[in-house]
Amino acid sequence: MSLERGQFSSKIGFILAAAGSAVGLGNLVAFPVAATKNGGGAFLLMYAIFVVAICLPLMIAELSLGRNTCRNPFGAFKELSNNSPIWKFFGMFMMITPFMIGVFYTVVTVWIVGYLFEIVTGNLDVLSQAETFGQFINSPDVFLYMAIVFAMVKLILVGGVKDGIERLAKFLMPALFVLLIALMVYVLTLENAFLGVKYYLIPDISKITLPVISGALSQAFFSLSLGMGILITYGSYLRKQDDISKSAFSVAMTDSGVAFLAGLMILPAIFSFNPETDTSQLTSSSVGMIFVFLPKIFLALQADIGYFGASLIAGIFFILVLFAAITSLVSIIEVPVAGFIDNRGYPRDKALLIVGELMAALTVIAALSFGMSQFFTEFVSYAGKVKSFFDILENVFYDTILPINGLIVCIFVMYRWKQANFNAEMETGGEGIARTWMQKYVNISLMTFIPVILALVAISTIALKFFGVNLLA
């Protein structure tokens, strides 16, 4: 059965594709700002510990589930639980999550394409005005850019695993590294750049509070694309001779390395624009940062390098963000596509068509929910606030369900699939890990404290997002 499914052709192909999924808006913008606001070096250290101690074991578990079954999340849960209805329900849950996050992420990718187009056509000055973003997201142009994004994703995914996803990652990921380093080097030469580096790196332990700790864990979890079914699906395309734990380690390091370097690009840029920046006032929303704040900073460069030079730097930045977003977007859309291929036996293009149509309908609704349609803009109200359709996607699927899915994976792997089977899969292609302290750590942590921590994160997030109660304050 696995023969008809796609497979990555090499270990590096897999690592680049999985890193492509992991490296996204979370790394390029949210991480640097979160680190600066929340204790600089102290945050970085804590984040690194979370990546290695909590996220890495989970990543190994997700990849092992996928590779063992050669299935999407639903198929994996179904097969390893002998058709248990309750596990099939959870498996379904893990298919709906990526689908809905895909809708959310498509909307943001559409805006990136739109901004890139505006920069290339000489409109950086317009983009840097405060009111532009609100007008842009409510203009009919977004539907044109949406069609472009869907066409791009379709073009990539129709090629399948090796000729679509892997080929794209092998080209875009190295390009992303080069652009990131080039921009970082340029930004570091700006006046007052080192003030930003200082703020980014100097540890301030007093900022490490309970909400900051929980936020750092959620950030690491999200950044590594955990709990989204992506790593189960990509694991299902991994060759038996590849070492799961070493590959997971490389993906986690690449993702964290990119996040770290992004800080050395974003913070110096902010401080060279305004050496007096009060970091506590910086927005922690990636969207606000990318579409409102950064265009202003890029435009200010015109004093030194002229309007064309400033537009060039802005253009490079938006291309970088677009590359990061596209490799993440294809990874998340691949999950439901794999679901239709595995579970219904559909050919890839038919599966893509169905997923594409369903997603397009919901993405249009999400795009209408910033003001174009009052019904979707004021869709419901909870925690004392009116919420749009887009807000719900963010609160339910981004904020809340990811740690719950992580919890489900821990319990399923350790208590239903069982430790011995999990270890056997980990050792396939990675014999060296057998009976090491590392393997013992992965087993014990997934059985004990990782599910407890994820349950606590989920409970506190639900209390905060849906009932307005801050349990961590």
Footprint on this chain of ligand PFF (rule: CB under 6 A) = 21-22, 24-27, 101-102, 105, 222-223, 225, 328-329, 331-332
Which lies closer to ligand PFF via its Cβ, residue 297 or residue 333? 333
Q: Measured from the CB of residue 133, what is the shortest distance to ligand PFF in angstroms?
A: 20
State the first-to-last Cα distance of the chain, in angstroms, to the nearest integer. Answer: 51
What DSSP character marks residue 414?
A: I
Q: Measured from the CB of residue 225, what is the shortest distance to ligand PFF in angstroms?
A: 4
Which lies closer to ligand PFF via its Cβ, residue 26 or residue 114? 26
CB 368 within 8 A of CB 376: yes
Which lies closer to ligand PFF via its Cβ, residue 340 or residue 397? 397
Q: Measured from the CB of residue 109, what is the shortest distance to ligand PFF in angstroms?
A: 9
CA angle 352, 356, 358 (to 5 degrees): 125
Which lies closer to ligand PFF via its Cβ, residue 105 or residue 111? 105
Which lies closer to ligand PFF via its Cβ, residue 363 or residue 443? 363
Q: Measured from the CB of residue 24, what is the shortest distance to ligand PFF in angstroms?
A: 2
Q: Measured from the CB of residue 230, what is the shortest distance to ligand PFF in angstroms?
A: 6
CA distances in angstroms from 215 to 25, 78, 171, 199, listed in the order given? 16, 33, 33, 19
Which lies closer to ligand PFF via its Cβ, residue 193 or residue 248? 248
Q: Measured from the CB of residue 81, what is the shortest distance to ligand PFF in angstroms?
A: 26
Q: Measured from the CB of residue 98, what is the shortest distance to ligand PFF in angstroms?
A: 7
CB 153 within 8 A of CB 333: yes
Which lies closer to ligand PFF via its Cβ, residue 238 or residue 321? 321
CB 322 within 8 A of CB 116: yes
What DSSP character marks residue 3?
A: G
Q: What is the DSSP string of 275-310?
A: TT--GGGS---HHHIIIIIHHHHHHHTHHHHHHHHH
Query: What residue number has its CB nearest to ligand PFF?
Result: 24
Q: The tokens 């009116």 sit on which residue? A: 386
Dihedral over alpha carbons 97, 106, 248, 442 (to 10 degrees): -30
398: left (phi over 0), alpha (psi -120 to 50) or beta: alpha
